[in-house]
Structure 1
Amino acid sequence: MMTQQTIDKLCDMKLTAMADAFAEQMGKPDLGELSFEDRFAMLVDRQWTFKEDRRMTRLLRTAKLRDCACIENVDFKTPRALDKSLVVRLAGSDWIKKAQNAIILGPTGVGKTYLACAIANSACRNGFAAMYKRAPRLYQEVAIARADGSYPKLMNRLSKIKVLVIDDFCIAPMTDPERRDLLEVLEDRQSISSTIIATQVPVENWIAHIGDPTLADAILDRLVHNAHRINLKGESMRKIRSSLTKTDKSGR
């Protein structure tokens, strides 16, 4: 009777994993040979693991990353000038703790989006909030927030994302509102959060795409100077995989 009351109390305190582990212990008499400290540690470990797993699941769901990307599945064999040691470092958390950025450059199809999302996936698994946004969609969301009065709330949310992926950066010339909104986003994140930029456009051409030299200089200052750079080269990964698929089919 006392056992069930204890389980019910644990459930009332939302310690359901600990309650399950306690019930399992009570059904295994051989565990009675363990000390109280050891058995209690097992209960705490079960609850802690459950909580961490649920948190990671929530972080990954909120991040809305593309392609179910993860570092373990990054292709280092295909020649595209990918620095494995740098990718491994970015899969860790030191650069995030230092609020550094990452810039992934390269032509269409070489895997910029996948790599950016894989790094963000690792951030989530390390306990950091991440989010994926295509640049045009980010600008659109900020513009809508300005119009409907939710701008402060959106900016506050973006500032708290520890790793923000901005994909397709400089895919088209920026309007003045877009330039100013981006600068505000980056200003709120400076020195407290990390940003990953994925783009086809070389850094030296960003000013031309951003438009206003003064605003462009301010944007670059917040993105470039403390950024790790990955310059991908080679053929489109989509083209390579398509060729391999056709070869496999023809060989059957």
Structure 2
Amino acid sequence: MLTHPTSERLRSLGLVAMAQALEEQRRQPDLDGLGFEERLALLVEREATGRDDRRLRARLKFAGLRQSACIEDIDWRAARGLDRALFGRLAAGEWIDRHQGVHLTGPTGVGKTWLACALGHKAFRDGRSVLYQRLPRLLEALALARGDGRYARMLKTLARVQVLILDDWGLTPLTPEQRRDLLELVDDRHGRAATIVTSQLPVSTWHEWIADPTLGDAILDRLVHNAHRIELKGESMRRRAARRAVPVDADQEN
């Protein structure tokens, strides 16, 4: 008679998984042979597992990874200059502990964003905080945050993330304000956290893209010298996938 109100009480206390487990125990007569502490242990374990799952889902939602990518799914057959040994070392995550960077450069479509998200997902699975941002939109968001008083708080949040992915670096010209924001961002993270950058521009042209000698020196000094470089090449992966998806004409088969 007390089981139903107990379930409701558990739910009101926020112990939803435990309440569900208790209801399941009621429908499993084979559990009647277990002692009180054994059944209680099952309920507690269910609640702990449920909370862990909710935390993981919240962290993954916060990460906002653009691609659903896993390092186990990398296509090593594609000829794009991806060093398997280097990528394997990066997947292990020691570079994150050393607060280093990864620069993925190459033409559009070769998989820079996908590979960055794969590294981010592996870091997430290893228990690290991850955040994906397209740099043009991030700089716009920082400008808005400056106007409504959230600027310092937003920079603090970005500085705390263990792995920050900055996608589309160099895609659009920088304004003077954006150059300063970029310096604040990389300075806050330098020597404290790891950053992944993807760009169509070679690293050798980044100084020219920043277009300010003083700020360019300051930004790149904090970003470039402690980073691993992966320079991709070859045909667009999207173009290759599209070709495989197109059925071969019957006349071409004969």
1:62-110 CA-to-partner distances (Å, cap 9, x unmatched) read 3222233333332222111222343344344443333222111111210
SS of 2:169's equivalent? Answer: coil
Matches of 1:14 and 1:165, distance apart in 2: 34
Letter in 2 for 1:169: W
For 2:52 and 2:91, the matched residues in 1 are separated by 18
Tell me, yes or no, if structure 1 residue 29 matches structure 2 residue 24. no
Partner of 2:17: 17
Partner of residue 129, structure 1: 129
* CA deviation vs aligned residue, 1:37-62 (integer Å, no higher than 9, x gap): 65444333322222222222222223
Q: CA RMSD in A?
A: 2.5
Q: Distance in 1 between matches of 2:98 and 2:34?
A: 43
TM-score by length of 2: 0.85
Q: Which amino acid aligns with 1:114?
A: W
Counterpart AA for 1:217:
D
- Residue equivalent to 2:57: 57
Aligned to 1:82, what secondary structure does the other structure show? coil
Deviation above 6 Å: which 4+ runs of structure 1?
none
Equivalent-residue separation in structure 2 for 1:82 and 1:49 (angstroms): 38
Q: Does 1:185 align with 2:191?
A: no
For this pair of structures, how many residues does the alignment match?
251
- Residue 249 (structure 2) aligns with: 250
Moved more, 38-47 or 146-155: 38-47
Q: Read off the aligned partner of 1:250 and give its amino acid letter.
A: D
CA distance in 2, matches of 1:54, 1:127: 14
* Structure 1 residue 237: Cα displacement: 0.9
Q: Return 5+ residue gaps in structure 2 as ranges.
A: none
Partners of 1:38 and 1:136 in 2: CA distance: 55
Contact 1:59 1:128 in 2 (8 A): no
Secondary structure of 1:138's match?
Answer: helix
CA drift at 1:33: 4.4
Cα distance in 2 for partners of 1:25, 1:94 equals: 44
Q: How does 1:107-146 map to 2 (within 5 A)?
A: 107-146=107-146
Measure the CA separation in 2 of the matches of 1:94 and 1:36. 45
- What TM-score, normalized by structure 1, do the two folds share? 0.86
Q: Percent identity?
A: 47
Aligned partner of 1:82 in structure 2 is: 82
Q: Does structure 2 retain, via aligned residues, the 8 Å contact 1:135–1:166?
A: yes
**Paired residue for 1:210?**
210
Matched residue SS, 1:166: strand
CA 127–13 in structure 1, closer or farther in 2 if over 3 Å, else same: farther
Which deviates more from structure 2 when the two are superposed, residues 3-12 or residues 226-235?
3-12
What is the CA-CA distance between 1:183 and the residue it aligns to? 0.9
Question: How far apart, CA to CA, are the structure 2 residues paired with 1:168 and 1:74?
Answer: 21
**Which residue pairs with 1:98 in the alignment?**
98
Over residues 118-138 of structure 1, what are the superposed CA-to-partner deviations in whole Å (9 max), with x where a residue is unaligned? 222233333333222222212
1:160 partnered with 2:160: yes
